[in-house]
Amino acid sequence: MISIRMVMVLCLIGLALPGWAAGQGRGEDKVHPMLLEAPGGAPVSFFVRLDERADLSGVEELTTKVQKGRFVFESLTEVARRSQAALRQELDRRGVAYRSFWIFNGILVHGNRDLALQLAARSEVARVFPNPEVRVDLPLPRSEGWEMAAIEWGVERAKAPDIWALGITGEGAVIAGEDTGYDWTHPALKAKYRGWDGTTANHDYNWHDAVHSGGGSCGADSPEPCDDHSHGTHTMGTMVGDDDAGNQIGMAPGAKWIGCRNMNVGVGSPATYSECFEFFIAPYPVGGDPINDGDPDKAPHAINNSWGCSQSEGCDEDTLKEVVENVRNAGIVVVASAGNDGSSCETITTPPGIYAAAFSIGATDSGDGIAGFSSRGPITVDGSDRWKPDVSAPGVGTRSSVPGGGYSSMSGTSMASPHVAGLIGLMVSAKPSLAGDVDEIERLIKEGADPKTSSQGCGGSGPDEVPNPTFGHGIINALNTVSSGDADADSDTDADSDADTDSDTDADSDADTDSDTDADSDADGDSDTDSDSDADGDSDSDADGDSDGDADGDADGDADADDDDDDDTNGAGGEGSCGCHKTGAPADANRRSPLAFLIRLM
């Protein structure tokens, strides 16, 4: 028979360890297997995600980017402040290091497996998952054999110069990137940096470093933009780069850029990726507080993400899903590379490119063929069978900026997605009311793309079907896209001005972002598939998968989906593994005249 004294002891234990007395087994059910396998006392970082989520349904009624950004920021931070209070108090009492996140309701804890199990048993905790850091072998750029071209071939192919000819170069638009960092003093980038006024640099609200230890040549918590690799500087060049000395490497040279470093010499994690996304929803000063100092009015219009978070980095299909959806809800387009794990079907497998809330980009070569390394859909890792990529863009032999003031070439879907981010800059500049209307921006890009077909058959797609899981809706075309969106009659340079639409940017609905298997797109289905590209959708620009990131650039044009194993680039850790590839850069002889669009503007 249990004595009264024993009952009292059990009650005291329950009071001393809130939630833990309910049973260790219940906590284990919430803990990711990777954490359960860790030694009990070994140090490990992990996320504690809380049950409560902010209700963002009200964003559907808002019409401007500023309104959406403020609503999302205020809603998410209110829930984080209130619901995390008890857990933070407990961590403070224990002397445990942690970082609170509001972009999703969670806390990054630096502890061990035993602590993870204890915290998982708390009633307000939904799940506990790891935050490992895994090195990604990013390629090094190559400069030999390259000559300066007035306009980089991918920019030319995307028809950006046709829009420049109309006086639209991106003024008023702000484009962001999270990557290995950025050399902000590069001649092609400095004048485009929002933190530079021509005389003085101010990095507050324009730069954040999510790398808090290590950091290579940049060190940790760099107070100014810095690139400890080269990948990030290269991608930013394709978005906005122009040195006014002949190196016209960027899609929107009149736009401004801001940046965040999410990789430590090629090492990323769910925490660094999430921290950068949080910064972009509401930028804050260098060293500032994400909640108290965040200013959503300074958020960018689009974010380029030339990276992927693999399972080895602790990213399953849901790890960043809520994060990306919240960015979209804030009226910001999340542009994501599809990955370099082609040429087989169902090879788009890593966040953020798998998500309906992200705009996923495949890579093409100078002959309009799909790059052999470009990952294909449909998305099967989450069971959705969602058709991705959404569109494709030039990504083979892309010449762009690298740290130190130079230029070099790289290949990968990493190089394709910045073309799309730059295109969004041109769109918002031409029509400021598009700002914040993510659905409409994505629709216009899809409709304006040059349709491309593939007989590879991914996802059961037919040989004449557009969209398809190889090219998506086709290759981006800035002239078609911007002209179909028209221009605001009273267009000014304030691209943050109120939008004139009421589109639903609630990314909780998968159907509104990716067209899935809807073949009723406005593409005509009888696209002009380039004769230089295989019928199966594969191009002659297969990546050889060597550890040096080199692409072989075969000229035989006979690569196919089941050709050989050298079609694969080393995509470990996500899209960052792109190759270097030398290829011709012929000007597009079929560039469409801007006259039709000029009439629309009159």
Does the active-site annotation cover 143?
no
| Confidence tier at 524 by pLDDT (50, 70, 90) | very low
Q: Tell me the per-residue pLDDT of 208-225, one tens digit each, with 9 for 90 and over.
A: 999 999 999 999 999 999
| Catalytic-role residue among 409, 414, 429, 483 | 414
Q: pTM to 2 decimals?
A: 0.80
| Catalytic-role residue among 32, 45, 75, 179 | 179
Does the active-site annotation cover 179?
yes
Q: Tell me the per-residue pLDDT of 147-174, one tens digit each, with 9 for 90 and over.
A: 566 899 999 999 999 999 999 999 999 9
Instruction: List the end-to-end C-alpha distance of the chain, in Å, as a whole number.
Output: 92
- Residue 420's Cβ-count burial label (10 Å; 0-12, 13-18, 19+) is buried
Reduced to 3 states (helix: H, G, I; strand: E, B; else coil), residue 377 is: coil
DSSP conformational letter for 155 = H
| Catalytic-role residue among 186, 203, 231, 419 | 231
Q: Tell me the per-residue pLDDT of 451-474, one tens digit each, with 9 for 90 and over.
A: 999 999 999 999 999 999 999 999
Tokens found for residue 81: 């402040």
- What is the pLDDT at residue 141? 60
Secondary element (H or E) of residue 130: strand 125-130
**Which one is predicted more confidently, 513 or 133?**
133
User: Beta strands 398-402 and 125-130: pairing type?
Assistant: unpaired
Does the active-site annotation cover 213?
no
* Count of CB atoms situated within 10 Å of the CB of 335: 33
